[in-house]
Amino acid sequence: MPGTARYIHQIARPAGLPRPTDFAFLEAPLPAVAPGTALVENIYLSVDPYMRQRMNEGLSELHTPIEGRSIGRVVESRAPELRPGDLVFHREGWRTHALVRPAEARVLPRYEGVPLSAFLSVLGGTGLTAYVGLTKIARLQPGERVFVSAAAGGVGSAAGQIARLLGAEQVIGSAGSAAKVKRLTERLGYHDAFDYHDGPVGELLRRAAPEGIDVYFDNVGGDHLAGAIDVLRDHGRIAWCGGVSQYNEAAPTHRPANLFEVVHKSLRLEGFLVSDHRHVQAELENFLVPYLRSGELVADETVATGFDRVAEAFIGLLQGENLGKMIVQVGEV
């Protein structure tokens, strides 16, 4: 098949926020389709904060492809499990075309009324992270009060909506701008929200939840974690999902000064990786798809268009330019 494939390598270690010059856009002839493989033309690529962590020394090799979640269409196949036209999910990352084996690709179901991109947002690893954090780690109960940080991002926009669907009494979100705060309450079903730039997180949270909170879904770490520990009620739970406030720091300071409150209040703080919970995917889809169809759940996404914009979208994500899940569209749906 004639044509070229484009792909992106990390070529330098970022110091702080990554720069466009940390990446190289490369081109090669389309790979030959060997027996047992299929060629996928990508449609959507995911850019995620964890990629920033992996760019540090010792966690990735320079001048190699960047791993990541992608959705594409099979255009040629020598594997009976993958047929031309199939829409598949795979992890071959930032490239226009990928050669995949059936074991490395999931043929996606089509749910009427649900956009394909949702398999990278609420029905993808992002939504699964939110669902697992709330149901398996925090074990949220109806009637409880929940705080979610980075609430207007991919995981956060899913977590807030899912917490409400699970019957939370109050869902509070924090985000980095007044426009995001407005969006949380007007579009994403948060009961209360605040901009974390407006004061110490603990004080802003206490104002929103004078009676305290039962669950903290932590995407941010640092001052957010410390503030939530202050406001959690006895026997509260923290699902520690991420620490995006620290990823660009040369010397991350994850440890909150009030950590011993975990003992005084009999709190449970549990970290988790979504990769240990892939088996929950079917449960996630069974739970969320009816709400997506009815409109009670929004697949909140920012979609940048064009392969040339992948690195830019990734850098923008780390600066909070996204509303919901940041996705790059690189091909026709």
Residue 264 beta carbon to ligand NDP: minimum distance, rounded to whole angstroms: 26
Q: Please, which residue, 7 or 131, has the CB nearer to ligand NDP?
A: 131
- Phi, psi dihedrals of residue 6, rounded to the nearest 5°: -110, 150
Give the HSE-up count for residue 207: Cα atoms under 13 Å, Cβ half-sphere.
Answer: 14
Residues near ligand NDP, by CB under 6 A = 48-50, 126, 129, 150, 152-156, 175-177, 180, 219-220, 241-245, 272-274, 317, 320, 322, 326
Residue 50 beta carbon to ligand NDP: minimum distance, rounded to whole angstroms: 5
Strand ranges (E), 221-294: 232-240, 268-271
Say how many C-beta atoms besides its own lie within 10 A of residue 198's C-beta. Answer: 13
C-alpha dihedral (275, 279, 281, 282), degrees to nearest 10:
180
Q: Please, which residue, 55 or 74, has the CB nearer to ligand NDP?
A: 55
State how far the Cα of 181 lies from the Cα of 177, in Å rounded to an integer: 6
What is the DSSP secondary structure assignment for residue 14, as one 8-state letter?
Answer: -
Q: Please, which residue, 225 or 330, has the CB nearer to ligand NDP?
A: 225
Say how many C-beta atoms besides its own lie within 10 A of residue 135's C-beta. Answer: 19
What is the DSSP secondary structure assignment for residue 112, as one 8-state letter?
Answer: T
91 class by beta-carbon count within 10 Å (0-12 exposed, 13-18 middle, 19+ buried): middle
Q: Please, which residue, 84 or 200, has the CB nearer to ligand NDP?
A: 200
Residue 222 beta carbon to ligand NDP: minimum distance, rounded to whole angstroms: 7
Residue 265 beta carbon to ligand NDP: minimum distance, rounded to whole angstroms: 23
Q: Please, which residue, 140 or 155, has the CB nearer to ligand NDP?
A: 155
At 236, list the tokens.
């509260």
Q: Please, which residue, 127 or 236, has the CB nearer to ligand NDP?
A: 127
Contact 78, 106 (CB under 8 A): no
